[in-house]
């Protein structure tokens, strides 16, 4: 059964560059992390950094049960380079009853296969990094981008120069773009649901929700 503590607990399988970075980042934020890898040297190297580390074959259901893998709220499979092991580990984790399995993989085809065998979420770090770079090069105003589903996005962007000195009422983003402004960040202050007479100044950050197409149009403003 998943633990009933306030903070979720994580297991990370595959402690290469992606897996170890993720595990260490979670541990630094105060989360309990079990690090798993078939390479004993890697496991030993991280033993002092994580709450628990173990060397085992993650495709072996008996070995997974032995470390009480189902007690962890989320298990992340970071074996990106070896797709067969990634696939078999995912199948084994779901077979023993892990509630939430997140996998790292390299291609859309691999992602589709992992989802079919039970993965709850699949990430493609290289593809996402490329998309973020393209976004930063072509839409420099766009700072953060959080998908809310297939069609909608919560985004944080630098207020375009054309906004400066104008109020929300004057800009009228809802009528022009169909976008809802949920907050404005100014220095260390966050203004939630800013009033219509809120006037933008240089350096303001806009937090808004809209469809992907609407956000793209907004990010292209000067």
With a cut of 70, which residues of the chain have pLDDT below it? 1-6, 80, 126-150, 222
* Residue 24 to residue 3: CA distance in whole angstroms: 21
CB 9 within 8 A of CB 31: yes
Spatial distance between the Cα atoms of 132 and 181, rounded to a whole number of angstroms: 22
Domain 10-124: assigned CATH number:
3.40.50.720
Q: Where in the chain is the domain with CATH 3.30.70.1450?
A: 139-219
Q: Which residues pair with 77 in a beta bridge?
A: 13, 103
- Residue 75's DSSP bridge partners are 11, 101
CATH code of the domain occupying 139-219: 3.30.70.1450
For residue 2, the model assigns a pLDDT of: 47
* pTM of the predicted model as reported, rounded to 2 decimal places: 0.62
Which contiguous run of DSSP H or E holds residue 75? Answer: strand 74-77
What is the spatial distance between Cα 211 and Cα 214, in angstroms, rounded to a whole number? Answer: 5
Instruction: Name the segment(s) of the chain with CATH classification 3.40.50.720.
Output: 10-124
Cα(138)–Cα(140) distance, integer angstroms? 6
Each as own residue / partner, the long-range contacts of residues 95-99 (CB below 8 Å, 24 or more positions apart, any chain) are 95/61, 96/61, 96/64, 96/65, 96/69, 96/70, 97/70, 98/69, 98/70, 98/72, 99/2, 99/70, 99/73, 99/74
């Amino acid at each position: 059964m998943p633990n009933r503590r306030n903070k979720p607990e994580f297991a990370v399988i595959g402690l290469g560059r992606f897996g170890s970075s993720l595990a260490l980042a979670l541990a630094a934020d105060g989360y309990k992390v079990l690090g798993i890898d078939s390479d004993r040297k890697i496991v030993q190297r991280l033993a002092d950094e994580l709450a628990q580390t173990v060397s085992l074959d993650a495709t072996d259901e008996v070995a997974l049960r032995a470390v009480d893998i189902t007690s962890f709220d989320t298990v992340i499979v970071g074996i990106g380079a070896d797709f067969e092991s990634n696939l078999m580990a995912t199948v084994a984790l779901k077979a023993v009853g892990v509630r939430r399995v997140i996998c790292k993989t390299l291609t859309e085809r691999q992602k589709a296969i992992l989802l079919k065998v039970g993965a709850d979420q699949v990430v493609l770090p290289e593809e996402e990094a490329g998309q973020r770079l393209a976004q930063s090069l072509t839409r420099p105003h766009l700072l953060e981008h959080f998908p809310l589903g297939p069609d909608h996005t919560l985004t944080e962007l630098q207020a375009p120069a054309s906004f400066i000195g104008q109020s929300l009422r004057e800009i009228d983003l809802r009528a022009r773009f169909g976008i809802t402004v949920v907050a404005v960040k100014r220095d260390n202050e966050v203004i939630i649901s800013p009033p219509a007479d809120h006037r933008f100044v240089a350096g303001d950050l806009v937090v808004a929700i809209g469809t992907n197409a609407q956000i793209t149009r907004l990010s292209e403003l000067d």
